[in-house]
Every structure is written in structure tokens, then in C-alpha cells.
């Protein structure tokens, strides 16, 4: 998933103790007109586990990214449908209150597990025992049956969810967001492979979960073929986009607010700065464009919006060093992660948004940019061929060679008529994805999982 989200207004609360086609072997979790079924309405409360990153954090740097957006958007919309959501995440500061109301009906609970500081994902497995104890202790203070479903996000949370499922007697729904075997098969040059311990952990969670949520049919196939997931347990639920926040707007005004020349050729990258997201591909392509058309230097602006993350923290200045080495420091501008309204401004200011990732389970940046009426040039990997309508709302590029990317970017950015055609189609394509439908489909999937889980318990008696 890609990165960033609305900046949140949060306030402490009292704690309790004070679209794919049909397939016979896969479920596409949907409900008529995007409204949850009656079974989904019977759900009362969902426990969401997000060990390594809090939905309260600003996406775009550190470990905060598309997963944060996903949790915030789906939890908020579930609560609007009368299903309370409690999100458990690791406390990274002693100043954090035990719980925070993210939105009406959505509570974020901070669990003390390890030092009160940010830990890398490789350090977090050692804290899973403490985190699990905190989650189970919180539930133990409630009446039996407090939660109807537990939904874990990322494999670390899945390890906790597996134990919570067994202790609470409720189904476990799991969303991987990224898969180690897929990432390792498409590593960027110089990137570190995911460790064997993660691969084993993912295999365990896939085997134990009652439902596995995939963003696209491609991801569903990866779960089945690479992890031997039971096809009957895989739900295909596409993510959405906030079409109220990300809307077409005045490009000239957006550029003026960002201090960009009105007639510039603006290319933008939005996301975490790490090898997986491949911002270096855009920088190299920009250098190629200037080599092919030196006169473009007077107009070209490349915006890189985000902060170092993941393996990018090993060499946080590597991208800036590449910019200097390629001699494009005069056209590249770095911006920190942007909250929702400011991010929409970046999208509107750009002629093209590039999503050159080596792997993406979906690609929220691509949807958000298109919702703002900006064409996208994206890598033909993972879920991006679903997020981008090739030739209609943007272009897909095979591979990551700078020459191929330069040609694709030139085709859109330097041909006003073609760019206008793509821009006209982009919002309509993005509106085909809705967080309301995503939340509704998840609730339907939860209800089905709960029904099957209860039936299996009865048959075992």
C-alpha cells in the first residue's frame, strides 16, 4: 500500500477500566449497493491490531503509510454503521494516554510493550509477547464476548491476533498489506531481503486465519500459490479513496501556494523514501529527460514528498546524494510528508504523479492522484494495474529502466492534449473505488467469518 493520510484531530477518552470478477474458489466481499448485509449489522465491536504503526501517526515517513490510511478510513466508516472499533497499537511514548478517540466509535488503545520509543520492524518480534499480554489483559477487563472479530494488519499483528482468536473464541481476519515472498522476488538494487523469520511468521498466520483479505485478485493468487492459503478463506476487498478530500482543483492556484512556476513541467513522487518505493527511478528518469531535451531544464520540477522509511533508514541521504551525482539538484525539490489537504494540493499542482514501486499490494497514492484529476505513470506491478487504468487514466511501465520511464513521463507531461485526455478520465476511474464499499465489504466478511466460526465450534462439541 502507498502512503499518507488526513491529519487527525484526536482527544483522550476514558478507558474501560476507569473488485474482481466472480470465482468459485475466491470470495469478492461485496454487498448490494455497498451496504452491509443484515448479518453485518449484528456485529457490535471489532478489535483491530496494528502493532508496528499507529493510525494516529502522519503517513509518509517511518513505518506510517498506506496501512495507516486503510485502518483510519475503514474503522471510521464501520463506526458510522454502528460497529465500534478498538485499535490496539504499541505505545511509543510514556506521554501517550492509554486510549484516544480517533473518531466517534473508534478508539485507539496504546499498549506498553518494550521501550517507549520507535522500534524497527526487526526489533518488534521480541516485544510481541508483551504486546499480546497487554491486548489480552484489556479484553479480560470486559464482559465475556466483548469483541465479535479480531482483524490484524501486517504479519506481526497476525501473530498476536492468532493467540487472541484462540483465547477469545472469535474469528481472526488478517490483511497482510505486503508479503515477504513477493517483496523478495522483486528487490530493488541494494535492498535487503526480508528475513526468513518473517516468511515463517506469515506462513503461520495464513494457516491460522479464518479469513484473509486481499486487495486484488493478484494478491489473492499470491496468497494461494506462495503461501498455500485455503481459497475458500480468501476475500478480495479493494481499498478505496477519499473522494471528498481528493478532488480536482485549480492547478495554477495549487502551484502558486507551493511556490512553483505556473508553466513548469511538474513531476511528483509521494511516499516513503526507501528502495521498495523507488523514488530513485523518477530521479534517474528526470535526468534522462534532461539529457534528451536540455532546454527542458528551465521548466522541469520534480517534487519528492515523503521521508526515509524501512531500509531507506540505512542510508537516509542516499536519494539526495543521487540527485547531486546526476546533476539534477536544481530541478528536484524535497518536501516532508503532507497532511491530507496539503497532499491534495501537491497532486493538483503536478502534471504527472509517478508511482515507480518495485512492489505494491495496491497503490493508494495512484488513486488519490487520479481523484484529483492528475494522470499517473506507474510500474506494472502488484495491484497498480487495478489502481491505474492503463491508457485511460494513466500509463503503466514494465520494468524500471530510466529510458522507459523517461519516455512514458514525456508522453504524458509534454503532450498537453494527451495529458488532458487522461486527466479527464482519472477522477471517474478513482471514484470506482470507495472506502464506504471497502468498509461494507469487510463487515460482510466479518459476519460470514463469525457465522462459520460459531458453526465450527458447535460441530466440534
To the question of whether residue 58 is assigned a binding role by annotation, the answer is yes
To the question of whether residue 292 is assigned a binding role by annotation, the answer is no
To the question of whether residue 299 is assigned a binding role by annotation, the answer is no
To the question of whether residue 360 is assigned a binding role by annotation, the answer is yes
To the question of whether residue 70 is assigned a binding role by annotation, the answer is no
- Residue 248: CB atoms within 10 A of its CB come to 17
To the question of whether residue 189 is assigned a binding role by annotation, the answer is no
To the question of whether residue 164 is assigned a binding role by annotation, the answer is no
To the question of whether residue 408 is assigned a binding role by annotation, the answer is no
**Cα 353 to the center of its chain, rounded Å:** 17
To the question of whether residue 368 is assigned a binding role by annotation, the answer is yes
To the question of whether residue 330 is assigned a binding role by annotation, the answer is no
To the question of whether residue 27 is assigned a binding role by annotation, the answer is no
To the question of whether residue 121 is assigned a binding role by annotation, the answer is yes
Query: Phi and psi (nearest 5°) for 259?
Result: 75, 30
To the question of whether residue 68 is assigned a binding role by annotation, the answer is yes
To the question of whether residue 348 is assigned a binding role by annotation, the answer is yes
Beta strands 265-270 and 352-355: pairing type?
parallel
- Contact criterion met (CB below 8 Å) for 312 and 61: no
To the question of whether residue 350 is assigned a binding role by annotation, the answer is yes
SS3 sequence of the chain: CCCCCCCCCCEECCCCCCCCCCECCEEECCCHHHCCCHHHHCCCEEEEECCCCCCCCCCCCCCCCHHHHHHHHHHHHHHHCCCEEEEEEECCCCCCCCEEEEECCEEEEEECCCCCCCCCCCCHHHHHHHHHHHHHHHHHCCCCCCCCEEEEECHHHHHHHHHHHHHHCCCEEEECCCCHHHHHCCCCCCCCCCCHHHHHHHHHHHHHCCEEEECCHHHHHHHHHHHCCCHHHEEECCCCECCCCCCCCCHHHHHHHHCCCCCCEEEEEECCECHHHCHHHHHHHHHHHHHHCHHHHHCEEEEEECCECHHHHHCCCHHHHHHHHHCCCCCEEEECCCCHHHHHHHHHHCCEEEECCCCCCCCHHHHHHHHCCCCEEEECCCCHHHHCCECCCEEEECCCCHHHHHHHHHHHHCCHHHHHHHHHHHHHHHCCCEHHHHHHHHHHHHHHHHHHHHHHHHHHC
Task: Cell numbers for 358, please give them.
Answer: 518495485
Query: Phi and psi (nearest 5°) for 194?
Result: -70, 145
To the question of whether residue 446 is assigned a binding role by annotation, the answer is no
To the question of whether residue 52 is assigned a binding role by annotation, the answer is yes
Q: For residue 275, count CB atoms less than 10 angstroms from its CB and return exposed for 0-12, middle for 13-18, buried for 19 or more.
A: buried
Per-residue CA distances from 77 to 152, 242, 327 (Å): 17, 11, 47
To the question of whether residue 66 is assigned a binding role by annotation, the answer is yes
Binding residue ranges for 1D-myo-inositol 3-phosphate: 52, 63-68, 121, 154, 178, 198
Binding residue ranges for UDP-N-acetyl-alpha-D-glucosamine: 58-59, 66, 272, 277, 338, 360, 368
Binding residue ranges: 52, 58-59, 63-68, 121, 154, 178, 198, 272, 277, 338, 347-348, 350, 360, 368, 374
Binding residue ranges for Mg(2+): 347-348, 350, 374
Amino acid at each position: 500500500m502507498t502512503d499518507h493520510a488526513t491529519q487527525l484531530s484526536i482527544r483522550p477518552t476514558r478507558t474501560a477500566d476507569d473488485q474482481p470478477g466472480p470465482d468459485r474458489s475466491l470470495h469478492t466481499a461485496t454487498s448490494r449497493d455497498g451496504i452491509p448485509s443484515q448479518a453485518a449489522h449484528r456485529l457490535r465491536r471489532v478489535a483491530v491490531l496494528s502493532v508496528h504503526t499507529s493510525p494516529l501517526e502522519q503517513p509518509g515517513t517511518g513505518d506510517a503509510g498506506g496501512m495507516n490510511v486503510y485502518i483510519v478510513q475503514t474503522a471510521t466508516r464501520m463506526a458510522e454503521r454502528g460497529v465500534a472499533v478498538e485499535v490496539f497499537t504499541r505505545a511509543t511514548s510514556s506521554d501517550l494516554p492509554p486510549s484516544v478517540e480517533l473518531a466517534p466509535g473508534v478508539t485507539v488503545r496504546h499498549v506498553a510493550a518494550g521501550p517507549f520509543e520507535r522500534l524497527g520492524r526487526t526489533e518488534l518480534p521480541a516485544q510481541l509477547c508483551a504486546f499480546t499480554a497487554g491486548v489480552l489483559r484489556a479484553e479480560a477487563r470486559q464482559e465475556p464476548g466483548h469483541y465479535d472479530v479480531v482483524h490484524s494488519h501486517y504479519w506481526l499483528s497476525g501473530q498476536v491476533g492468532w493467540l487472541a482468536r484462540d483465547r477469545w473464541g472469535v474469528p481472526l481476519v488478517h490483511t497482510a498489506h505486503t508479503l515477504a515472498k513477493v517483496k523478495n522476488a522483486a528487490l530493488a538494487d541494494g535492498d535487503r531481503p526480508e528475513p526468513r523469520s518473517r516468511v515463517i511468521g506469515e506462513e503461520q498466520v495464513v494457516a491460522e486465519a479464518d479469513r484473509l483479505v486481499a486487495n486484488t485478485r493478484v494478491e489473492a493468487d499470491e496468497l494461494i500459490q506462495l503461501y498455500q492459503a485455503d481459497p475458500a478463506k480468501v476475500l478480495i476487498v479493494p481499498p478505496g479513496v477519499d473522494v471528498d478530500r481528493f478532488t480536482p482543483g485549480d492547478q495554477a492556484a495549487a502551484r502558486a501556494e507551493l511556490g512553483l512556476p505556473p508553466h513548469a513541467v511538474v513531476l511528483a513522487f509521494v511516499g516513503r523514501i526507501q528502495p521498495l518505493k523507488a523514488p530513485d527511478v523518477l530521479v534517474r528518469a528526470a535526468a534522462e529527460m534532461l539529457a534528451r531535451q536540455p532546454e527542458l531544464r528551465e521548466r522541469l520540477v520534480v517534487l519528492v514528498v515523503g521521508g526515509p522509511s524501512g531500509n531507506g533508514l540505512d542510508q537516509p541521504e542516499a536519494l539526495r546524494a543521487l540527485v547531486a551525482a546526476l546533476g539534477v539538484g536544481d530541478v528536484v525539490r524535497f518536501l516532508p510528508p503532507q497532511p491530507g489537504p496539503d497532499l491534495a494540493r501537491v497532486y493538483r499542482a503536478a502534471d504527472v504523479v509517478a508511482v515507480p514501486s518495485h512492489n505494491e499490494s495496491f497503490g493508494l497514492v495512484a488513486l488519490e492522484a487520479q481523484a484529483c484529476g492528475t494522470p499517473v505513470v506507474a510500474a506494472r506491478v502488484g495491484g497498480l494495474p487495478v489502481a491505474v487504468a492503463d491508457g485511460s487514466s494513466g500509463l503503466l511501465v514494465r520494468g524500471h529502466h530510466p529510458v522507459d520511464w523517461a519516455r512514458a513521463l514525456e508522453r504524458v507531461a509534454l503532450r498537453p492534449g494527451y495529458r488532458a485526455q487522461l486527466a479527464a478520465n482519472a477522477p471517474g476511474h478513482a471514484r470506482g473505488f470507495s472506502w464506504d464499499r471497502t468498509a461494507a465489504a469487510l463487515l460482510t466478511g466479518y459476519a460470514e467469518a463469525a457465522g462459520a466460526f460459531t458453526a465450527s465450534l458447535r460441530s466440534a462439541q
